[in-house]
Amino acid sequence: TNPAFATDPYGTYKKLQGETPPVFWSPDSIDGTGRWLVSSFELCREVLQENTRFTTSIDYAPGNAWPRRLIPLELAPPDHQKYRSLLPPLFAPAAIDRLEAGILETTNRLIDEVLADGECDFVDAFARMLPGSIFIQLLGLPEEMKEQCFAWEETFFHTGTNEERVQVGNDIHTM
């Protein structure tokens, strides 16, 4: 939750690599309990690939910032593969072909909005909106839910307190 990381993640990571040992403890974490961090590519790869020695487990106790696992990201094999195997059909060429008209329509609408305004913050107006809108189409959610989904994403991954993240998780679970 370092503000410098939010504005310059690559610079912050490079600074971290120069100032810390390759493996270190940080008391800074979303839920306030701290976490172990690795600061080299090689160690990141090892941690991510060695599920017998490292875990993706977080304390999922009631009231925690993360009331449930983010599937499939936070699952270790073999559970990860079971959920991961559901995704390729969604991204197969035929599935993407079915989305193409909606993707083009969304892209053109976003460009038209920028042109009408005469200027834009590219990230806010396009880079965030396009993949988010496509994701909503991919899930088959109605267009009217777009703003709610973006608000959930912002709260859950970027700005929310622990309580707000729990509420987002509960809101999504009950929709």
pLDDT top residue among 143 and 94: 94
pLDDT exceeds cutoff 80 at 24: yes
pLDDT exceeds cutoff 80 at 13: yes
The Cα 65–Cα 68 span in angstroms is 9
The Cα 129–Cα 151 span in angstroms is 12
Q: What is the pLDDT of residues 141-163, one digit of tens each?
A: 888 898 999 999 889 888 888 78
Q: Which tokens hold the place of 49?
A: 């690939």
Q: What is the mean pLDDT of the chain?
A: 84
Please tell me the predicted confidence (pLDDT) of residue 66: 57
Q: What is the pLDDT of residues 119-145, one digit of tens each?
A: 999 998 999 899 989 888 888 888 889
The Cα 107–Cα 125 span in angstroms is 11
The Cα 58–Cα 76 span in angstroms is 12
- Please state whether beta strands 35-38 and 23-26 pair in parallel, antiparallel, or not at all (unpaired): antiparallel
Dihedral of alpha carbons 66, 67, 69, 74, sign: positive
Q: Is the entire prediction scored with pTM above 0.75?
A: no
